[in-house]
Amino acid sequence: MDLPRRSPPKPLAPAEITGPGPEAPIAPPAPPAGPLPVTRTSVAWAGVWTAAAVAIAFIVFMLQNTASAQVSFLGLHGTLPLAIALLIALVTGILLTLVLGTARITQLRRLARANRRGQGR
């Protein structure tokens, strides 16, 4: 049985290939290549991610260091989990650094203010 032969498809016109002309939305031009500027938002976002990573690492540390440790300080004696003892030491170190850093910044500001007044500004 012979099948009837079909005629080859006719070529499409350019308008049929690309769609309608003037009504089609035009894509905006590509932005120029180059590094993106650093903004306060991007810095804050990076800070949030860093803080989240540190918090997760800290939680893992706390869960892995639950063994008891004997602590003696200024005549006080006690037993507490190792992670808590290290946390107290960490917080104490951070507070001491903040106090000393604040004192130094205040000292430098006073010195700068005195230098400006001495120059007649």
Contact assessment for residue 89 and residue 96, using Cβ atoms and an 8 Å cutoff: no
User: Rounded mean pLDDT of 82-88?
Assistant: 86
Domain assignment present for 107? yes
Residue (of 42, 84, 45) closest to 62 by Cα position: 84
Whether 15 maps to a domain, the answer reads: no
Name the pLDDT band for 62 (thresholds 50, 70, 90).
confident
For residue 24, the model assigns a pLDDT of: 59
Domain tally, the chain: 1
Paired with 80 in beta bridges are 69
User: Is residue 18's pLDDT more than 70?
Assistant: no
Query: Could you tell me if residue 121 is inside a domain?
Result: yes
- Paired with 73 in beta bridges are 76
Mean pLDDT over 76-101 rounds to: 89
Query: Average pLDDT in the 7-19 region?
Result: 63
> Is residue 59 one of the residues assigned to a domain?
yes
The reply to whether 9 falls in a domain is no
Q: Kindly state whether residue 14 falls inside one of the protein's structural domains.
A: no
Residue 103 has pLDDT above 70, yes or no: yes
Residue percentage of the chain with pLDDT more than 90: 26
Evaluate whether 89 touches 74 at the Cβ level (below 8 Å): no
Beta bridge partners of 69: 80
Domain that holds residue 86: 44-121
Q: Which helix (H) or strand (E) holds 71?
A: strand 68-73
Query: Does residue 18 lie in a domain region?
Result: no
